[in-house]
Structure 1
Amino acid sequence: MSDERHPDIEVYIKNRPLEVILDWLGERCERVQTINSVGGTHALEIVIDSNTVPVMIHEKAVGKAWISVWFRSEDTPWVRDLDCAHEIAKALDTQVRCIASGWSEGDDPDEWWRVENGDAEKIQWQTS
């Protein structure tokens, strides 16, 4: 995996309610503003490390256990999805998954990182 900055950051958080994730964002960010919420999809705008970043949250993104959090900008504190996954897994004491690479041509779309208890392991995860 490359250490190049990913153009956006997306992670999947296991078995944590939306309120817990929003509380973490509130602690981590200078500002969190809800732009729109429809059903289980939430559009937010956050200010993190002085950068304004649009965020999409999808509840039940994969089955009932996983919530997707997509930071739709490269202007985040994390260089790679894996960096963000480590921070969230520790902060929320849960498993977090993210794609194993930055979605380059030829990458295996089923290869993911599973981050839990400070460890990261590559797994095959068929999400569909």
Structure 2
Amino acid sequence: MTEDQRHPDIEIYIKDRSLERITQWLQSVCQSLKRDFEQGQVHHFIGSIDGCEIPVMIHEKVSGKAWTSIWFNSDQTPWIKDLDCAEQAARELDTEIRCIASGWTTGDDPDEWWRVEKEMIEKIHWRT
């Protein structure tokens, strides 16, 4: 996947933020957000962004107790790539965000991630 090619979906990992705080952030990103269903630590929503209904899944405690995953299952998000979303989330949630460094293309290093916090963006190896 090339650097500027739109990712088919967006997934970020948020450090040390409650489900309530993450949901508040999602409500600020979406024109509307409705809870679809929950099962344990997995929460499904339908968000409306720029007229598109986008499935959103929040999965708490995906890597230890500190990390929560948010997956926007659509290519119709406001972000071209995961890193764009991570930068916005890091600013607005005031915490560390991680996302995969590439778009999950064959041959990519699955341990290579972006670490975004405040104004810092760095590539790291994250082995969970």
What is the distance in 1 between the residues matched to 2:37 and 2:110?
29
**1:85 CA displacement:** 0.1
What is the distance in 1 between the residues matched to 2:58 and 2:28?
17
What is the distance in 2 between the residues matched to 1:124 and 1:15?
20
Amino acid at match of 1:117: K
**Residue-pair matches, total:** 127
What is the distance in 2 between the residues matched to 1:28 and 1:126?
30
1:27 matched to 2:25? The reply is: no
CA RMSD of aligned residues (A): 0.8
The corresponding residue for 1:88 is: 89
**1:48 CA displacement:** 1.2
**1:27 CA displacement:** 1.6
- Unaligned 5+ residue runs, structure 2? none
What is the distance in 1 between the residues matched to 2:112 and 2:70?
18
TM-score, with length taken from structure 2: 0.97
- Unaligned 5+ residue runs, structure 1? none
TM-score, with length taken from structure 1: 0.97
What is the distance in 1 between the residues matched to 2:55 and 2:17?
21
1:55 matched to 2:56? The reply is: yes
Identity of aligned pairs, percent?
Answer: 56
Please give the residue correspondences for 1:30-49 in structure 2 after superposition, counting only pairs within 5 Å: 30-49=31-50
User: What whole-Å deviation, never above 9, does each CA across 1:26-48 have from its counterpart, x for those lacking one?
Assistant: 12211101111111001110001
